[in-house]
Chains A and B, each alone.
Chain A
Amino acid sequence: MEAQIKVKRFNPENGAKPFFQDYSIDVSEDSTILDGLIKIREEQDGTLALRCSCRASICGSCSMKVNGSAKLVCKTRIKEVSPQGETVTVEPMSNFPVIKDLVTEMDSFWSKVKSIDPYVKTNFEPEAEHIASNESMTHLLGVMNCIMCGACVSECTALEVDSTFTGPAALAKAYRFVADPRDEDKKERLGKLNESSGVWDCSRCLACVEVCPKDVAPMERIVKMRDLAIEEGYTNTSGFRHTESFSDSIKKHGRLDETRLALESTGLLNISGLIDLAVIGIKSLFKGKIPPPLPHKPKEADKVTNIAKRLDSEESEE
């Protein structure tokens, strides 16, 4: 079949701006986008640059944006994104500088991975293997599946506005150690992750979960680490207060008490934060949309409160 591929090109050596180039190639029904790109490079245009190696979604080389979202091109069939022969647009990943064409500079990615101390820390050398349950190891398999392809980073909405954010891949990697029963540095790790640019800066947008080709679900790991950090006693963050007061409000009233949430999250001592909220509050009042002073309760709110009580005690028993 004939495939139309539009590739974003960029060559730092000729001073020209990035531009799109159209290619038309003959491929088989089950060809992947990578097959297509390789064909272009080998038969039509030797100047096209891209990274690829395994062709089997395991080396992590070939993340690119396909029709706007990051994918492993070796794992994506042309037919899948272009059932009717529509043009497929391929661009380099976002949130990374471009070196040439589809090749991005991943230095910042690796330095973030390095920043989380990515190796198991133990204080002693056992005689034989560490004893660990198969369950705990199988659980880690979920994060160990990460092939460091960068797709999640390309999509991360928090990184887009703040390049210091540690980002989904490195944080998922951090979880691999935090949740490893052999690692003895858990508390220190969580302490560091609790600081700015760490777990609380994720905006929970789910973009990383959506694009990860290996089902690593970075956001879920991040959220889990927030909880673990709280368990370890790291509670002096507005993130913590936000979560606490939100949960409390639901447990007590069944629905959300926005006023209280705002005040408690900002921290009662954060004067400028409070003034800030006050400004919006007054404006809202003026427009007739200030939240009512009492939390809205659903009918029979006690039922909700009961469930919350039961499940809360269940959790603390665990």
Chain B
Amino acid sequence: MSKHDLLIIGAGLAGLRAAVEGVRQGLNVAVITKVHPVRSHSNAAQGGINAALTDRGDDWEDHALATIKGSDYLADQDAVEVMCREAGEAIIELENMGVIFSRDEEGKLGTRAFGGQKKARTYFVGAITGSALLHVLYEQSVKYNLHIYEEWFVTKLIKQDGKIAGAIAFDIKTGQMELITAKAVVLATGGAGRVFEPSTNALICTGDGLSLAMQVGAPLMDTEMIQYHPTTLAGNGILLSEAARGDGAYLINSEGDRFMEKYAPDYMELASRDVVSRAEQTEIDEGRGVDGCVYLDLRHLGKKFIEERLGYLQEVALEFRGIDLSESPIPIKPGMHYIMGGIKTDLNGATNIPGLYAAGECANVSVHGANRLGANSLLDTIVFGRRAAVDSVEYIKSAGSLNVDERELSKEKSRIQNILDRPKGMRSAELRNKMGTAMTKGIGVWRDKDSITEAITKMKNLRGQLPNVFIENKGKVFNTDLVSYLELEFMVDVAESICHGADKRLESRGAHFRTDMKSRNDSDWLKHTLVQFAGEELNTTTSDVTITDWQPTERVY
């Protein structure tokens, strides 16, 4: 049994930022991650990270307003304020750590434009911003000699007397299972994209943290808010960053028209993602697409510009489609990308379970509300990752000593063994694919009562079939067959929660667009949805949205 003050589950940007802060605060910190830190999905972020730097005439309030408008007024405004106020400091700190941000002529940090905002306030590193940030935070983890459980898989959180007390995990390389106790735990497990098929997300984005939190009694908030990104490749769902449009790319339909003129005459291609995705889907549905896609056109930007600022996009286009972006437009379509919803936390990342925190994509503070602005997610991870660690310091001091019952470990060991011992049955991938397609169909860019109800029924069914899944690989060493199954169990919890959130919200707002209730309804639905386990069943309730200075108005781009 290993003991720590603070255990951070996840080594993406949120997790590593929290860990660095924990070490700086003098805590005994450990990070646990199912992949090597630099393999975490934060590396996929391409476009950049937002901040309003006051020394160059920008204003955090302007950033906040854009974020709130982008969220379709569902974000908690006190949380948005915290994020936008702290953004400047966060960026400077990242630069000081060594991030090689792009510069302007004076050698200061340079920006590019991003969606949903008039002001260019997105700081970036070519088209590999997430990777550049993640590698630098990993560098910091080396500098601080951080204790990292690399390639360990968390299966369960442990509570003692109603408070969090640690986690159970196994070393993927050896199969060795351990109880790791900690006075406080930060969940930083990232997104849940694989619940859908296809998705821009990596194969490891299976919503583990959301399910782990639910199982110890924490609620998920606004799970119905699923972001469909406007520019993804058909088939495998790989993303082409919004940076393309931020840097001037056009969207055109089969007739060659820049159709955003009709939908967002002011912001054009840089309207909020939900708006652009719906516009594209309308064009496609009305027959102005090609094979279910419209086009992203970068030709006018020129080869040199593309290669220097959007190099990774060019690489993806060439590798996966054989298209040179400087020569031809590339077919794209809306694709599942991000989950705005997540584990409900306060401004410091604390959940309703004492000692349990959440930060990053798995959490919902909520700063993204019904639609996240591009480049606000990286910011979210950095700001709230840090805050969670800071807040845990006091909590850890006050928390008494831990005395976890060792039987928790043997119980979990035998649960896993029982799974391994199941007789031959169906493979987990079969169920996962069924889940993914059903979710994309039911909780898509458009949805309605029927599609949601159908998805709920299917998820119930899927849950019923879980015990029929068998694990072909019985070994202990690198048993990815077992890991995939355990991830599927987590995903089913998340999928069902998403359906219930969608079912509950009787209006259209941001990414949640119901064709049977097309308008926003502020009088009844300026509310968060909350999904929580009540015994075996999921229970859905609501809570109020925090409005401070910005009164909801109609949202036009």
Contacts and interface: CB of A to CB of B under 8 A. Distances in A.
Given A129-B108, A148-B38, A54 B96 contact: no
A3 interface: no
Contacts of B110: 134
Interface string B292-331: 0000000000000000100110011001100000000000
Contacts of B100: 137, 140-141, 144, 180
A46 B125 contact: no
Contacts of A132: 103, 107
Contacts, number: 161
B76 to A, nearest CB: 30
A131 interface: yes
B86 interface: no
Interface string A1-42: 000000000011100000000000000001000000000011
A222 B143 CA distance: 23
B481 interface: yes
A53 B39 contact: yes
A285 B107 CA distance: 61
Contacts of A130: 95-96
A61 B172 CA distance: 15
B475 interface: yes
Contact of B44 (A13, A54, A105): A54
A101 B173 CA distance: 12
B472 interface: yes
Contacts of A59: 35, 38-41, 43-44, 202
Nearest to A122: B96
Contacts of A141: 100, 125-126, 128, 311
Contact of A47 (B107, B108, B481): B481
Contacts of A145: 128, 311
A43 B103 contact: no
Contacts of B126: 138, 141
Given A47-B472, A49-B480, A58 B96 contact: no
B104 interface: yes
A56 B238 contact: yes
A215 B126 CA distance: 15
B473 interface: yes
B248 interface: no
Nearest to A177: B98
A61 to B, nearest CB: 5
A290 interface: no
A239 to B, nearest CB: 28
A57 B109 CA distance: 27
Name the residue in B36, B125, B204 with the highest tally of chain A Cβ atoms < 10 Å from its Cβ.
B36
Interface stretch (B131-139, B219-227, B363-371): B131-139
Interface string B227-240: 00000000110110
B471 interface: yes
A261 interface: no
B140 interface: yes
A52 interface: yes
- By CB atoms of chain A within 10 A, which of B100, B126, B476, B477 has the most? B100
A23 B203 CA distance: 23
A26 B316 CA distance: 24
Contact of A134 (B97, B107, B312, B480): B107
Residue of B203, B311, B472 most packed against chain A (CB within 10 A)? B203
A13 B173 CA distance: 12
Interface string A114-144: 1000111010011011111110011011001
A55 B238 contact: yes
Interface in A182-230: 182
Contacts of A30: 235, 320
Contacts of A182: 98
Contact of A58 (B44, B103, B125, B427): B44
Contacts of A103: 478
Interface string B152-167: 0000000000000000
Contacts of A42: 427, 429-430
A305 B108 CA distance: 44
Interface string B36-69: 1011110110000000000100000000000000
B106 interface: yes
Interface in B90-143: 91-92, 95-98, 100-110, 125-126, 128, 131-132, 135, 139-140, 142-143
A182 B107 CA distance: 12
Given A46-B472, A58-B44, A137 B103 contact: yes
Contacts of B40: 59
A120 B44 contact: no
Given A134-B107, A144-B135, A53 B41 contact: yes
A60 B106 contact: no
A59 B138 CA distance: 13
Nearest to A132: B107
Contacts of A282: none
A101 B125 CA distance: 36
A81 to B, nearest CB: 14
B35 A61 contact: yes
Contacts of B103: 132-134, 137
Contacts of A106: 36
Given A42-B429, A53-B39, A120-B97, A144 B125 contact: yes
Contacts of B55: 128
Contacts of B427: 42-43, 46
Contacts of B44: 54, 56, 58-59
B43 A131 contact: no
A61 B36 CA distance: 9
Given A41-B480, A53-B204, 12 more contacts: A13-B475, A42-B429, A50-B480, A53-B41, A54-B44, A57-B316, A59-B44, A103-B478, A129-B109, A133-B107, A144-B125, A182-B98
The 3 lowest CB-CB distance pairs between A and B, nearest first, are A46-B472, A42-B429, A120-B98
11 contacts: A11-B475, A30-B235, A41-B481, A47-B475, A59-B43, A61-B35, A75-B319, A105-B173, A129-B101, A134-B102, A141-B128
Interface of B: 35-36, 38-41, 43-44, 55, 91-92, 95-98, 100-110, 125-126, 128, 131-132, 135, 139-140, 142-143, 173, 202-204, 235-236, 238-239, 308, 311-312, 315-316, 319-320, 427, 429-430, 471-473, 475-481
